[in-house]
Amino acid sequence: MDISSPNAHKGFALEKVMHTYGIKSHEIMVFGDYNNDLEMLALSDYSFAMENAHPNIKKVARYTTLSNDKMGVEHQLKKLVAL
């Protein structure tokens, strides 16, 4: 069971940081695997669902990456650095 306030989510915090520092949606990458990541994923042009993510996450994210067990975040960051 996942219990939380509907007003407390990662997207709220990320939106505050973006506003404070003038960060645009195309300047951040976010990664998620469960429903508590939905609002955060909606804020970024580069949103990634982990391969093992909940189906709701896969619907919202623009891209997918390897599972948590296969180091999906690291995989994408290595690709970014290689550009």
Query: What would the two tokens of residue 5 be?
Result: 């306030």
Over 90: is that where the pLDDT of 8 sits? no
Over 70: is that where the pLDDT of 25 sits? yes
Over 90: is that where the pLDDT of 34 sits? yes
Domains and CATH numbers, the chain: 10-81 (3.40.50.1000)
In whole angstroms, how far apart are CA 14 and each of 8, 11, 28? Answer: 11, 5, 10
Cα separation, 7 vs 55, whole angstroms = 22
The predicted structure's pLDDT at residue 2: 65
The predicted structure's pLDDT at residue 49: 98
Give the number of C-alpha atoms closer than 13 A to the C-alpha of residue 40, restricted to the C-beta side: 19
Q: For the residues 33-60, what does the mean pLDDT come to?
A: 96
The predicted structure's pLDDT at residue 40: 96
pTM for the full predicted model: 0.87
Q: What percent of the chain has pLDDT over 70?
A: 95
Cα separation, 70 vs 31, whole angstroms = 14
